[in-house]
């Protein structure tokens, strides 16, 4: 059985935060392992280290490798999959990272569209073809024009879908129309890249989500996707409505991953530290996040006894 046949995409993939020590100088490896165990307990399909939520741009090359290696070793012990962030706006660097995460045992690699350079669609196509040719490892495309300045348009997705190593796309365009057009053009599996749109994307054919809110509510997000995959949209809508205020707040109160790290700190799950140029949430934002967590049924930190519960 090859790597492609073993990869199971449907469901919730958690876009993991990278926990840092309180001074943000070092990766808190033990905290990271605990967070992965919490994801396993929540029953998610897999985890995504070193993506946007993982503050990949501020990780050194050595830290990036260590985070992916730790994710693979820990997740595998729980029979959980790993889709490692390996994208870059330098094609040569993306190829190098792709080969690295393949050597570390990742089940797939997540590759963002080249940012800042603003290549045209032919440049985007050739970039991803070079990456996909570099190693026999499944590639998940990542279209997030709000961060990159360019989108992977449906016509380009259709072209790329013909490469045997390109197995899915994370659609973080915020456009149900774009997801619908991709589904019309090709059979490439779609993963929602926005928690608030998971239900909407599933209604037009998405099979999963790469989720931020599942850092703290993994079981509920996985339940949402399972209901969608069973075409039980009444049940999915009920879960979506419970998650929506928190999902919206975590992506709108400040730049991701600042709000989710704030929430995890309030829940006793993380130091809350982010690396410059990001800065920690303000007191007002923290208060709002705390209220949203309580509304979602999460128990905020009380003395040294930390319990996190979700209302299902």
Is 170 an active-site residue?
yes
In sequence order, which residues have a C-beta less than 8 Å from that of residue 116 and are 6 or more positions away? 89, 148, 149
The one catalytic residue among 125, 170, 242, 261: 170
Q: Write out the two tokens for 75.
A: 């997740």
> Torsions phi, psi of 145, nearest 5?
-60, -25
Q: Using CA atoms, how far apart are residues 39 and 76, in angstroms rounded to an integer? A: 12
Q: Using CA atoms, how far apart are residues 196 and 249, in angstroms rounded to an integer? A: 10
Angle at 222 between CA 58 and CA 3, to 5 degrees: 65
The one catalytic residue among 142, 230, 248, 261: 142
> Torsions phi, psi of 20, nearest 5?
-115, 160
Q: Are 171 and 138 in contact (CB under 8 A)?
A: no
Q: Are 142 and 112 in contact (CB under 8 A)?
A: yes
Is 115 an active-site residue?
no
Cβ neighbour number for residue 22 with a 10 Å cutoff: 11
Residues identified as active-site: 142, 170
């Amino acid at each position: 059985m090859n790597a492609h046949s073993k990869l199971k995409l449907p469901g919730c993939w958690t876009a993991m935060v990278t926990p840092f020590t309180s001074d943000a100088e070092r990766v808190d490896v033990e905290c990271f392992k605990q967070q992965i165990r919490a994801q396993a307990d929540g029953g998610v399909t897999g985890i995504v280290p070193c993506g946007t939520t993982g503050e990949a741009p501020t990780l050194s090359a050595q830290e990036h490798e260590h985070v992916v290696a730790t994710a693979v070793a820990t997740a595998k012990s729980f029979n959980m999959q790993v889709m490692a962030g390996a994208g870059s706006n330098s094609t040569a660097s993306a190829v190098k990272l792709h080969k690295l995460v393949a050597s570390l045992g990742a089940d797939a690699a997540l590759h963002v569209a080249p940012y800042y350079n603003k290549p045209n669609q032919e440049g985007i196509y050739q970039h991803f073809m070079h990456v996909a040719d570099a190693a026999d490892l499944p590639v998940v495309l990542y279209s997030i024009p709000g961060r990159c300045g360019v989108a992977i348009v449906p016509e380009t997705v259709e072209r790329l879908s013909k490469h045997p190593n390109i197995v899915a796309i994370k659609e973080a365009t915020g456009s149900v129309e774009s997801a619908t057009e991709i589904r019309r053009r090709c059979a490439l599996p779609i993963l929602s890249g926005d928690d608030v749109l998971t239900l909407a994307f599933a209604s037009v054919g998405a099979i999963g989500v790469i989720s931020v809110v599942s850092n703290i509510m993994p079981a509920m997000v996985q339940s949402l996707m399972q209901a969608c995959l069973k075409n039980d949209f009444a049940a999915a809508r009920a879960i979506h409505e419970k998650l929506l205020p928190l999902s919206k707040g975590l992506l709108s109160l400040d730049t991701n991953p600042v709000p989710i790290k704030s929430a995890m700190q309030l829940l006793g799950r993380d130091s809350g530290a982010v690396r410059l140029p990001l800065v920690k949430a303000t007191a007002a934002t923290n208060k709002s996040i705390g209220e949203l967590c309580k509304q979602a049924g999460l128990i905020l930190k009380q003395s040294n006894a930390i319990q996190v519960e979700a209302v299902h």
